[in-house]
Amino acid sequence: MKVYMIVAYPNHNGLSYNAFESARQEFERARHEVRVTDLYAEGFDPVLRFDDEHKRRDLQFDDSTAPYRDNITWADHLVFAFPIWWGGMPAILKGFVDRVFSKGFAYDYKGVMPIGHLTGKTAWIITTHDTPAFYVKLFEQDYGKVLDRQVLKFCGIKTIRRTTLPYTRHTTAAQREQWLASIPAIAKGQLPVQP
């Protein structure tokens, strides 16, 4: 299988990055083809720009985002790893969505109905956050759900798993290690081992 992994975390020693790295190693160990975009390491520009000369309707042809569109087209399975900040994804990842998942490439409309162009692909969303799980369940609306329901599903991608470590500031080192240790098994369970 072809796996495209997008990580949005600036600290390569941090929990979100370690979860991404653990998943990546498992996919490679199982001999899947893996491509990676590390948004912070690449210095991805999240600012969406369009004007009279650069039309929003032409974003699907933007040369600067073509490699990311190519990776999405190539992939069977997408993996997103990021922390939840201020109730949602980091700005750099939101900018990636704004600039890469463009109309004409990722979706179109038939009348008022959206038509996803990325059908047949699956996704796994890995997040960490500092909010107690019960509070998120009762009161918060995003925490990875927007990426799942309003972006990926809209574009025809089926999220098969969301993995979250909540309330990280009140977890012990042992709890974090246990959570990280579960990531390879979750990765392994998503895709068949390649011959």
pLDDT per residue as tens digits for the range 126-179: 999 877 666 666 666 666 789 999 999 999 999 999 998 877 787 888 888 998
* pLDDT score at 74: 98
* pLDDT score at 144: 73
Q: Within its chain, how far is the Cα of 98 from the centroid?
A: 13
At 38-89, the pLDDT tens digits run 999 999 999 998 888 778 888 899 999 999 999 999 999 999 999 999 888 9
* pLDDT score at 140: 60
The runs of H, that is alpha helices, within 75-128 are: 91-100
**Average of pLDDT values for 1-13?**
97
Residue 165 bridge partners (DSSP): 128
- Tokens found for residue 164: 């979250």
**Average of pLDDT values for 17-36?**
96
* pLDDT score at 172: 84
Residue ranges per domain, the chain?
Answer: 2-190
Cβ(127)–Cβ(83) below 8 Å: yes
Residue 79 bridge partners (DSSP): 5, 124
pLDDT above 60 for 195: no
Distance CA 42, CA 36 (A): 11
CATH code of 2-190, in short, is: 3.40.50.360
- Tokens found for residue 173: 């080192």
pLDDT above 90 for 111: yes
Distance CA 195, CA 186 (A): 19
